[in-house]
């Protein structure tokens, strides 16, 4: 009986000590854990402050706008001094020369020896080029430009006549 009482007492003692130890750990968490928790919370606050809700809304708006079928954009090519060079309406959006839909390199298997070579791009060229944009007009003409430009989804009112005119006489005039 004494042995059973001693075992019960010891068991009770260990349970009380375990609870006390657990309570003490809850009151004073590991310092490393606290530091990691503070770093995580600071990162969350920082991320929440850098992502502007308005910026996200504008990105959504732009994606929806550019994804529309029969999209027409109004484009002005500008000289370095800001002089309008050309004004036209696109069928779809203008595209940057830096957009790559395919890999720029390919793996060539030659038996035990393999090598990486430059791959031909969508435009039939290898590697990169000077930056430019290219567009298709509503009258199915190709336009390419490597300077400043202005694009809008509504007609642009120019107060200065563009330097380039359409020799066919069918200028895509302002609306």
Q: Using alpha carbons only, how large is the chain's radius of gyration in Å?
A: 34
0.75 exceeded by pTM: no
Average pLDDT over residues 165-174: 55
Q: What are the structure tokens assigned to 172, written together?
A: 């895509």
Q: What is the DSSP string of 76-106?
A: EEE-TTS-EEEEEEBSS--EETT--SS-SEE
pLDDT reading at 75 higher than 90: yes
113-152 burial, b for 16+ CB within 10 Å, e for fewer? eeeeeeeebeeeeeeeeeeebebebeeeeebebeeebeee
DSSP secondary-structure letter at 142?
Answer: E
| Torsional class of 165: left (φ above 0), alpha (ψ -120 to 50), beta (otherwise) | beta
In the prediction, which pLDDT does 132 show? 85
Q: Is 87:174 a contact under the CB 8 Å cutoff?
A: yes
- Label residue 94 exposed, middle or buried (CB < 10 Å: 0-12, 13-18, 19+): middle
pLDDT reading at 155 higher than 80: yes
Using one digit for the tens of pLDDT, what is the confidence trace for 109-122? 777 777 777 777 76
Average pLDDT over residues 98-104: 67
Average pLDDT over residues 41-56: 73
Average pLDDT over residues 149-153: 92
Model confidence band, residue 24 (pLDDT cutoffs 50, 70, 90):
low
């Amino acid at each position: 009986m004494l042995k059973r009482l001693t075992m019960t007492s010891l068991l009770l003692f260990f349970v009380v000590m375990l609870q006390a130890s657990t309570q003490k750990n809850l009151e004073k968490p590991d310092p490393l854990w606290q530091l990691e928790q503070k770093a995580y919370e600071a990162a969350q606050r920082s991320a929440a402050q850098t992502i502007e809700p308005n910026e996200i809304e504008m990105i959504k708006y732009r994606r929806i706008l550019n994804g529309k079928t029969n999209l027409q954009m109004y484009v002005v090519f500008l000289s370095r001094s800001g002089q309008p060079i050309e004004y036209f309406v696109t069928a779809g959006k203008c595209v940057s020369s830096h957009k790559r839909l395919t890999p720029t390199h390919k793996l060539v298997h030659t038996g035990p020896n393999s090598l990486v070579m430059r791959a031909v791009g969508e435009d039939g060229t290898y590697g990169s080029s000077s930056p430019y944009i290219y567009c298709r007009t509503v009258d199915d003409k190709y336009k390419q430009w490597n300077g400043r430009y202005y694009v809008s989804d509504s007609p642009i009112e120019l107060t200065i006549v563009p330097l380039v005119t359409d020799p066919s006489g069918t200028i895509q005039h302002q609306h």
